[in-house]
Amino acid sequence: MKIISLNLNGIRSAVRKGLVKWIAGQNADVICFQETKAQIGQLNTIMPSFKDWHTAFSDAEKKGYSGVAIFSKKHPNAISKSFGFEEADREGRFIQFDFEKFSIVSIYFPSGSSGAKRQDMKYRFMEEFEIWLERRKKDLKKFIICGDLNIAHHEIDLKNWKANKKNSGFLLEERNWLSKIFHEYNLFDAYRTLYPAREDYTWWSNRGNAWDNNVGWRIDYQVIGSNFVEKIDTAEIFRSERFSDHAPLIINYVD
């Protein structure tokens, strides 16, 4: 089973950069998108290219903002677009597909980089998401949670960690929360499970030639339940083409 997670920074922009052709060559089973930045009614010219997929979007009320989606080759048994936090639901930050043997989530955590108000929203989001995890604690072993968490977990997960200790995305409170989530809910960072020491990143600022110099942050994850730990076969952060300021995170799981 091949699963791809990608923050698009706008699905229409990513399509113009070759996303459709790239996906056609990937033979993926499920693709989780974040930051689609479009309402479904704006995608009439794009969606025919994905006619072979079962697709669902959770859009933000605000046009051109946030939004998540899941594309699957197999029809899901159920779809949910809420994790119980109305403020986040209005911003289109969660979608879940349930299949017979597992569930997959595409999630987009808020960024707090624009100021204290958004950082407070990010903390509320984290608190509410932890409540959601607690309610599903017995079932999380069957979950794959894909998305842009907007948190770099450890120093190895961003290039300039010393300069970012007081910046959103690398605050100690955020990082400690992520550690707690992994520990208390028996969840695993799939990429780090396979590659514990690689200095790899999934997002690069558009400033200062960050992409060319590989000055990035690893903030995109596939967080997996215990059922999938032994099933990780390969993992890749794809950089040969660029569709966004994020790179696709591609993980293959085997039975």
Catalytic residues: 108, 148
Helix (H/G/I), strand (E/B), else coil: 100? coil
Helix (H/G/I), strand (E/B), else coil: 123? helix
Reference 80, options 135, 126, 29; nearest CA is 135
Backbone angles phi, psi at 65, to 5 degrees: -140, 140
Contact criterion met (CB below 8 Å) for 125 and 93: yes
The C-alpha atoms of residue 137 and residue 12 are separated, in whole angstroms, by 36
Reference 132, options 175, 84, 100; nearest CA is 84
Alpha-helical runs (H) found in 36-171: 86-89, 116-135
Backbone angles phi, psi at 26, to 5 degrees: -90, -25
Report residue 208 as tokens: 């200062």
The C-alpha atoms of residue 119 and residue 123 are separated, in whole angstroms, by 6
